[in-house]
Structure 1
Amino acid sequence: MVELPKRHKLEQSNRTREDEKLREFDEDIPDLRSLVIPWASMVIVAVIAAGIVLYNNHCDGEHSEDQLFFQSSDTMVEGSSYKESILERFLSAVTVEQHHVHKPVYEENHPSLFPLTTADRLGFSFVIIGLMVAAGGGIGGGGILVPIYILVMGFSPKHAIPLSNITVFGGAIANMILNVEKRHPLADRPLIDWDLILVMEPLTIAGALLGAFLNKLLPEVLLTIMLVILLSFTAYTSLKKAVKMYKAESRALREQGLKPDGTKESELTHINHQVEATDTNKAGDELLKDMDLQEGESPGTGDMESLAADKADELQKILDEERVTPMYNVSLLVGLFVFIISINMAKGGGAFPSPIGIKCGTYSFWMANGIMLGTIFLFCVYVRAYLVERFKAKERCGYKYVNGDIQWNSRATIVYPCICCLAGFFAGMFGVGGGIVKGPLMLAMEVHPAVASASSACMILFTSFTATTSFFVFGLLDPQYAPVCFGIGFIATYFGQIGLSILMKRSQRNSYIAFSIGGGVALSAVLMTIQSVLSLAEGEQHKSGGICGKDS
């Protein structure tokens, strides 16, 4: 008769703890909303603008044979005896077939690499500086590199973007080499958060696929204005967050009797080690606390001891699993990427032809896109169920989260993936790397700066490898500049991150990572604004009108 009240109190304790976790999650939302609400507003504006573009194209009467969506229902396809379906009219309205012949080989009247010109020396110097700024934040630096390759070194956008990708790919490898062995600053597990990557990366890809369609539909002027607004606002938000972190660190240093520059490093390091050890052991302490007898209760019975032992075993199993890289998560991500890159390369697109004859705008083209999006959706449904189940297991055994951890409950596994889709949408619509928006997003999600940087860099490795592979297969990489850009990306990022690590260790400040993220985004905003304005001034803007482009 004594067992039921005890079990009831344990269940009530678990429910209370879960309610507290949900309240903590709700408290984090306001900071996130300050970043996400403007993002969502821009998406709405972009979608409305795309609809207006389609309507205007119909009214202008351009490509009348291909744009039949808004025509009367009795319009017939030339040479056929049946009426077009609504789906056929819609697809033909948004695709506007290309009629030029694809030439998937590198063609550009650019001087050879050797001898190096003054523009090359200056450009590579700027590239190194930009990469070292972005290295610590793990944001890649594509928004910095593309303008440099275009404005300073004289490449066309068609070939500057592939060179930027292979440069970022080299830097991503350097980041991965440095980060893979690093440990979480507050827990006994790897620095890279693979659960976070498992949630963010697939939805980022899905958003990028959708955003790329709007990139083809919207006019260059509107894209430029929206890009400037996005990067400026994101940079402001990130730098504001960095300043807030810096002030908090300064207060902590003063309370410990240290100077703001981090002197008495040995004492502070000792204190940090004590804090880390305390955080690491809190999970076990929490379990013991939950298992303590309630006041006034009699000693535990065999059932209670068995229950405590089961929870302790489950907790230990979770802690053991987290001490190493979760190869299951890695294999899931690799499998998804191999599938997506295979379909994407088979599909082809506006920049290169399909190797299996799929033409842009046809049913097979849309089917390929549908397969990719459908696969990503099913993948995310599975990942959500997997993470929610792990969250429940952690709750059952009294797992103690550390500062910056995301608790993947039923609400978080819906809200955060949707926001990641927004980040990918902007990456695809503006043609910028995902790291430039995912880094600031993770800071807004209250992820520990070191974890945010390492996880963002890991995601960039996946995406830059995918893009570089596509550019290589379709011959869009300069055969002379590509290896040099790859090497510069690797070396500059490697030493840039080491330099920032030394600075952080001496000053005991993680806010420098946030400054690196914000500074990289701000520099990207300035350079891409200059590039876009000059491009518009020279009349090098693409005409809006269709996903597959216009006649050339």
Structure 2
Amino acid sequence: MKLLILFILITLSYSSSCESNNDCPSNNFCDKGKCAHKYLFPLSGMEILGTLLIFVCSALANAGGQGGGPLMTLILISIFKYDTHIALPMVQLIILGGSFIGFILKVHVRHPTRSRPVIDYYILLLFTPPLLLGTTIGVLLGFIFPAWLILVLLTLVLIWVTYTCAEISIKLIHKENAEKRKIADNTIVTGNYEDLNAYEKLLEANNDLKKIIDSEKKWFPLTPIIIFLGVYAFAIITFFLRGSPSSPSIIGVDHCSGIYWVINCVVFIGFVGLTGFVVWFVVADARKKQVLGYDFDDCDVVWKSKPAIVCVISGILAGIGASLLSIGGALVLGPIMLRLGLRSEVSTSTSRAIVVLTSSISIIQYSIAGKLEMIYGLWFFTFSLLGSVLGILAVKALVDQYNRGSIVVIVLTILMGLCAILTPSYGIIELTSQNSSEIGLRSFCS
């Protein structure tokens, strides 16, 4: 998530100049003719309320494997009275705090039915290049799309995500109820020892399969992580080479110059090539496991060309949404993973890793550009981290107590419902108040 709710940026620009403190919004003061935000302490009553809301929203968002970007943005802009260009980097810091501690809490957790990490690093790897490719496209579209169009697209996406999560929640509840009835009727047996012994003998006879099983017992699968880090490094390096209007290129490339577009083409081709390579790697790995007789979980995706292409398209759309609509890539990819049939525990843990990916890249970019307000940012970071820990542990306790993975999806549905209501509502109010006549597309280079 990089360019957050562009239509708000225009509406808040009028308050940047001032002659006295009365010309500035609340929580701001006039400093050398420009409105500046107050210092952290002493906290006002509204700031205490906003801090508590960040804590609660972080708990809800990270329990569902999301970052909660849209809600955090509304809190910083409407309660803390931050201008959007200052709020954007701090939102990323809030998201990074909650998602990173969530990732740390889950990185050692094992899969519910298999001896491997609950985070699916192969699907994380499969999503990463198309996600970053979509982000590149979304940044370009963000410069030319008018505010009203962004608001319409944002509303449609949030409604779709909420509906999808609600639909999946209902299906999971019915499935869990059916399984509980079977257990009550004693129709489920605890295990098939003959099959288990046969699989152990297969492992002893097949050294290649044994190597795969042994590698999955580690916290991180080495090969996917190496490829992932390579893609991550490519994204960071090309950003610094290309630059942006808010962060100049390290090699002096002017925005919209010929070299700028050449670098953009190289970035586009590079991500397309990396996407193709990752699809080949994941599909080939799944095919090898099938040949060797690997014991897949019932909810595993056995990767073939069709589901891999679906993930690539979803990743591109999620990347566009992350940079254009400010919704975070995991918000779209989470429901996609659930639709693919992944267990809710696997989906949310993998979504959290995706949030760490997107927010960390944004933080690096904002840090280099000098856009981070560190005092308030670290304050928000701390409460986001604490809220995330509370939310994740609370939901885990509920899942363990009631043996219902659907609780995670229900929490996600509630969060998305809030986003679907509050974000468009606030956007409509702001667009109405600015009386904007902007209808058509804008010039990218103007």
For normalisation by structure 1, the TM-score amounts to: 0.70
Q: Which moved more, 1:400-409 or 1:497-506?
A: 400-409
Equivalent in the alignment of 1:485: 380
Separation in 2 of the partners of 1:542 and 1:353? 31
Asked whether the 8 Å contact 1:174–1:490 carries over to 2, the reply is yes
Equivalent in the alignment of 1:9: none
1:139 aligns with 2:61: no
Q: Give the superposition deviation at 1:213.
A: 1.6
- Change over 3 Å in CA distance of 1:195–1:466 after alignment to 2: same
Amino acid at match of 1:482: G
Equivalent in the alignment of 1:522: 417
Equivalent in the alignment of 2:79: 152
- Change over 3 Å in CA distance of 1:435–1:542 after alignment to 2: farther
Equivalent in the alignment of 1:367: 262
Amino acid at match of 1:536: L
State the SS of the aligned residue for 2:371.
coil
Asked whether the 8 Å contact 2:334–2:347 carries over to 1, the reply is yes
Separation in 2 of the partners of 1:466 and 1:540? 35
Equivalent in the alignment of 1:511: 406
Asked whether the 8 Å contact 1:171–1:490 carries over to 2, the reply is yes
Equivalent in the alignment of 1:10: none
Equivalent in the alignment of 1:122: 49
Gaps of 5+ in 1: 1-106, 259-266, 289-307
Equivalent in the alignment of 2:20: none
- Change over 3 Å in CA distance of 1:282–1:188 after alignment to 2: farther
Equivalent in the alignment of 1:328: 223
Deviations along 1:241-287, one digit per CA (max 9) or x if unpaired, are 112211221232233239xxxxxxxx9xxx89x46xx69x9687469
Written as runs of structure 1 = structure 2, the 5 A alignment for 1:368-447 is 368-447=263-342
1:546 aligns with 2:443: yes
Amino acid at match of 2:171: K
RMSD across aligned C-alpha pairs, in angstroms?
2.6
Asked whether the 8 Å contact 1:443–1:449 carries over to 2, the reply is yes
Written as runs of structure 1 = structure 2, the 5 A alignment for 1:430-469 is 430-469=325-364
Q: Which moved more, 1:116-125 or 1:388-397?
A: 388-397
Q: Give the superposition deviation at 1:384.
A: 2.0
Separation in 1 of the partners of 2:203 and 2:298? 27
Separation in 2 of the partners of 1:311 and 1:391? 20
Asked whether the 8 Å contact 2:62–2:99 carries over to 1, the reply is no
- Change over 3 Å in CA distance of 1:215–1:538 after alignment to 2: same
- Change over 3 Å in CA distance of 1:191–1:176 after alignment to 2: same
- Change over 3 Å in CA distance of 1:501–1:309 after alignment to 2: closer
Separation in 1 of the partners of 2:427 and 2:275? 35
Separation in 2 of the partners of 1:153 and 1:515? 29
1:340 aligns with 2:235: yes
Deviations along 1:165-213, one digit per CA (max 9) or x if unpaired, are 0001011211111111100001110111110001011111111111222
Separation in 1 of the partners of 2:277 and 2:197? 30
Asked whether the 8 Å contact 2:247–2:368 carries over to 1, the reply is no
Written as runs of structure 1 = structure 2, the 5 A alignment for 1:66-145 is 109-145=36-72
Separation in 1 of the partners of 2:429 and 2:237? 36
Equivalent in the alignment of 2:148: 221
Deviations along 1:438-476, one digit per CA (max 9) or x if unpaired, are 111111111111001111111111211110111122121
Deviations along 1:404-426, one digit per CA (max 9) or x if unpaired, are 21111233332321222122222
Separation in 2 of the partners of 1:434 and 1:319? 31
Written as runs of structure 1 = structure 2, the 5 A alignment for 1:12-27 is none
Q: Percent identity?
A: 24
Equivalent in the alignment of 2:123: 196
Separation in 2 of the partners of 1:287 and 1:511? 32
Separation in 1 of the partners of 2:435 and 2:91? 20
Asked whether the 8 Å contact 2:108–2:117 carries over to 1, the reply is yes
Deviations along 1:140-181, one digit per CA (max 9) or x if unpaired, are 111211111111111122121111100010112111111111
Deviations along 1:93-134, one digit per CA (max 9) or x if unpaired, are xxxxxxxxxxxxxx8621111110122111111111111111
State the SS of the aligned residue for 2:36.
coil
Separation in 1 of the partners of 2:254 and 2:426? 32
State the SS of the aligned residue for 2:37.
coil
Deviations along 1:12-34, one digit per CA (max 9) or x if unpaired, are xxxxxxxxxxxxxxxxxxxxxxx
Separation in 2 of the partners of 1:412 and 1:218? 31
- Greater Rg by CA: 1
Amino acid at match of 2:223: Y
Written as runs of structure 1 = structure 2, the 5 A alignment for 1:237-256 is 237-256=164-183
| Count of matched residue pairs | 410
Q: Give the superposition deviation at 1:540.
A: 8.2
Separation in 1 of the partners of 2:99 and 2:70? 15
1:351 aligns with 2:246: yes
- Change over 3 Å in CA distance of 1:400–1:283 after alignment to 2: farther
Asked whether the 8 Å contact 1:283–1:401 carries over to 2, the reply is no
State the SS of the aligned residue for 2:184.
coil
